[in-house]
Amino acid sequence: MVRGKIQMKLIENTTSRQVTFSKRRQGLLKKAFELSVLCDAEVAVIVFSQKGRLYEFSSSDQIFMGISLYFP
């Protein structure tokens, strides 16, 4: 059984949008962790919420030091 394509559009309900953001953010950070462990890769993910809250994952502290050189 194949899932149909869903249309990508803004979620109008703010509560639903926040719940979806939280679930997808957790999934994204988990995938980044898995990628860093399984492939022994250096991975960094930076996500900002609609309210400007920062969420980040880094497989090593050196990554953010390197990023700060390019984005002061």
CA 27, CA 35: separation in Å to the nearest integer? 12
Question: Which class does domain 14-70 fall in?
Answer: alpha beta
pTM surpassing 0.85?
no
- Predicted confidence band at 67 (pLDDT cuts at 50, 70, 90)? confident
pLDDT of residue 63: 79
Q: With H, G, I as helix, E, B as strand and everything else as coil, classify residue 54.
A: strand
**Sign for the pseudo-dihedral over CA of 44, 60, 63, 42:** negative
pLDDT of residue 22: 97
* Half-sphere exposure in the Cβ direction for 66 (13 Å, CA): 9
**What token pair was written down for 4?**
């149909």
User: Which stretches of the chain are assigned E, i.e. beta strand?
Assistant: 44-48, 54-58
